[in-house]
Chains A and B, each alone.
Chain A
Amino acid sequence: MAGTFKKFSKEDVSNLSQVKSSVARGIRAAICETYPYLEETDIIETLIPKKESVYTGKCGHVTLCVINNTVLFFQERDGPWLPTLRILHQYPEMMKRLRTDKGAIKFVLSGANIMCPGLTHPDAVIHDEGEVGGAVAIYACDKEHAMAVGVLQMSTADIRGINKGIGVENMHHLNDGLWKMPNLS
């Protein structure tokens, strides 16, 4: 399931349709619950203004939240709503951060999941704690900007303790299909 947006283009998005305001409110609420920072700072109003119509598109098992023809958030099956990296770059404080060592970068940018050793490495930093299913932003040692967003497959405590297996599932990374196509026309 890694590299959800490996091959992704406008044609892959089916039924891009406007949603009812009740559904839009639901999405907004879900996003606010996952990212209280957006609500506290009212950024959510900038991203998803009440007056704007919200569109949804589907791409396989992924639902896209589209406003003004721009993909802002996406959700795989019933997982958490995740922001696109472009949005995350604009508001880096919205998400919990994990920082891998340098060696992991090229794998992450090819769509690989983040394995525990990449996060327990002496150069790696677990900035914020999290539980299974939590949304996290993936950074790299010595780099300023996030390179990926993912979902925790193990709690940060377990990542440290067990140090084996997949720590975070890589849902979206720099230069993947979604990154290259932020706008649908």
Chain B
Amino acid sequence: MLFDIGRVCMKISGREAGKTCVIVDKKNNFLIIDGNVKRRACNPKHLEPLDIVLKIKKGATTSEVKSAMKKEKLEVKDKKKKEKKKLEKPVKKRKTKKSGVNKKEEKSTQKKTSKKSTRKNDKKTTKPKK
């Protein structure tokens, strides 16, 4: 039949519209889907069947479904886990900057302050004359 177990479909409505999924189980009038979408019960009106059928058991897990999809050469999206390294790097940089650049900063700030002070003094001196 159209909506048998193992049928590959595309979601048409909702936030996950345009993503491929596989039918895993049946529940009353709803279908349970998995794959590139979150595992959930779905109305068959929100699905459009494709002409591919995968060989999986009833109630298969997400890892089993994704491995079966890779054998059929369908696109599978996995979550990336590289965010932790990015958080650590800037903390190290800040420590090095504070320890190494402190002396240079002090000199530069002294020069800047001296220049600014002279400019301000010039302006202050010029204004009251007018």
Task: Say whether A associates with B.
Answer: no
Q: Which residues of A contact B (CB under 8 A)?
A: none
Q: What is B's interface to A at a CB cutoff of 8 Å?
A: none
